[in-house]
Copies of this chain bind each other. A is one copy, B any other.
Amino acid sequence: MTDLGAGSSFGARLDAALTARGSLCVGIDPHPGLLTAWGLPVDVSGLERFALTVVSALAGEVAALKPQSAFFERFGSAGIAVLERTVAAGRELGALVVLDVKRGDIGSTMDAYAAAYLGPAAAVAADAITVSPYLGVGALNPAFAAASAGGQGVFVLARTSNPEGVPLQQARLADGRAVAQAVVDEVGARNAGAAPLGSFGVVVGATIGASGLDLAGLNGPFLVPGVGAQGGTADDVRRIFGGARRAVLPATSREVLGRGPDVTALRGAARRKVEEFAFLRA
């Protein structure tokens, strides 16, 4: 088990993990088609077999795992019980676990979301979570505060790959900046002075094209879904992130998971993706 620096900030732990294991996050997305392809029933027992197989195959290998909450919520409280075990097992076996929940609210409700996933006493304690900024990055402050207290991280949606998101994410604020740019700037302000890397990141899709986003000031990690089967390539990542590439965490799912349930095949697919992105830390 690689020592990922437990006890220090998420930014420091992620930086160490990227150096030790290479730049890859594998999404745990147990959608019905994948369960069926693995010969598993589309129920909570299939969900558990799938998620724990991915964890046992990959949590000792890759920098990060990213369970997608929706696929667990789909099975209600029994699915969340599997999510709890998945997150705990992933961390125990040495991966950073980024829980993809995309929560976002205000006031005491945001406090409750933070308490659910962040801080030392969280119900489902991940290394980091994703959040959504429609109510403003400032409304997410309880998540940033709880994450800091627990040595955890937060990734804020900024610019996604799906075409339906473009009009909103490129809308202009009163000061002329695009919405996505303002998200990057507000998150970056919360990373000021952090070394080697801030703990607050943004989500930027791998296939966003020429977005005009200035990513240089983030001083935090970029979570980049959509590489592999969803169309994003290593060249896309190189082009989009340029000088900030050392803090990039490409996330893939189907291209690796589709090789399961064979553990050796899963590991082989993950290692090939790690190789593909080796340039990020070169």
A window 33-52: CB within 8 A of B: 33
Q: Contacts A103-B102, A123-B76, A132-B134 hold; do A168 and B160 have CB atoms under 8 A apart?
A: no
B112 close to A70 (CB less than 8 A): yes
Which residue numbers of A lie inside 8 Å of B, CB to CB?
29, 31, 33, 68, 70-71, 73-81, 83-84, 100, 102-113, 115-117, 123-124, 132-139, 157, 160, 162-174, 179, 182
B165 close to A136 (CB less than 8 A): yes
Given A29-B108, A74-B115, 8 additional A-B pairs, CB 8 A: A70-B112, A74-B113, A79-B123, A102-B132, A132-B134, A136-B166, A138-B164, A167-B182
A137 close to B164 (CB less than 8 A): yes
A135 close to B157 (CB less than 8 A): yes
B116 close to A139 (CB less than 8 A): no
- Give me 19 A-to-B residue pairs in the complex whose CB atoms sit less than 8 angstroms apart, sorted by A's number: A31-B112, A70-B109, A71-B109, A73-B117, A75-B123, A76-B81, A76-B116, A77-B80, A77-B84, A100-B109, A102-B105, A106-B162, A106-B165, A132-B135, A133-B134, A134-B134, A134-B157, A136-B162, A171-B174
A70 close to B162 (CB less than 8 A): no
Residues of B within 8 A of A124 (CB): 73, 76
A252 vs chain B, min Cβ distance (A) = 15
Q: Contacts A75-B123, A103-B70 hold; do A135 and B112 have CB atoms under 8 A apart?
A: no
> Once bound together, how far apart are the Cα atoms of A179 and B105, in whole Å?
18
Q: Contacts A103-B102, A132-B104, A137-B164 hold; do A123 and B171 have CB atoms under 8 A apart?
A: no
Residues of B within 8 A of A132 (CB): 102, 104, 132, 134-135
B74 close to A77 (CB less than 8 A): no
Residues of B within 8 A of A138 (CB): 163-164
> Once bound together, how far apart are the Cα atoms of A105 and B74, in whole Å?
14
Specify which of B112, B171, B172 is in contact with A73 (CB 8 Å cutoff).
B112
A179 close to B171 (CB less than 8 A): yes
Residues of B within 8 A of A113 (CB): 70, 73-74
Chain B CB within 10 Å — which of A31, A102, A172 has the most? A102
A139 close to B168 (CB less than 8 A): no
A186 vs chain B, min Cβ distance (A) = 10
Residue in B closest to A113 when the chains form the complex, CB atoms:
B70
Q: Contacts A71-B112, A76-B124 hold; do A182 and B168 have CB atoms under 8 A apart?
A: yes
